[in-house]
Amino acid sequence: MRLYPLSTGTVRVKDPEYGTFDIKDHGGFDFPDDLSDRLGNVCVRGQRQWESEQERTLRLHATETERQRDPAVLYGAVAELVKLAQAVRGDDAATAGATPAAKSRARKTPAAPAADSTDSTATQQGDDA
């Protein structure tokens, strides 16, 4: 049965009956069932030292759920989504920090016509002189 150490730094377990076990890539140890039963009950100062795969899954799920309920994490995730949406939509840097009303005005405002050097008013003024 697979057990995961609750204390950090456990990379090898030596048992006189079953020999030496090294930590696997998944972070746990694959022990024979009776050794798992013995180790699973080990406590130091009232704290368990090992958890089963099911217990680990439940603990990690509870930790992730609690983290997602944190308002700072939610605001950070929303800000990241907004940045991604702006990048996909192609918003320029000038409207990136603007309010939604300012952004909509910026999109609706037509571009000013470029000034032409052969402006008709300039030629008429030059003819009068």
Residues of the chain predicted below pLDDT 70 = 91-129
Beta-carbon count within 10 A of 14 CB: 8
**Backbone φ, ψ for residue 20 (5° rounding):** -105, 140
Residue boundaries of the structural domains of the chain: 2-62
Q: What is the pLDDT of residues 34-63, one digit of tens each?
A: 999 999 888 999 999 999 999 999 999 999
Q: What is the reported pLDDT for 98?
A: 60
Q: What is the reported pLDDT for 9?
A: 82
Handedness of CA 19, 24, 28, 34 (dihedral sign): negative
Q: What is the reported pLDDT for 100?
A: 64
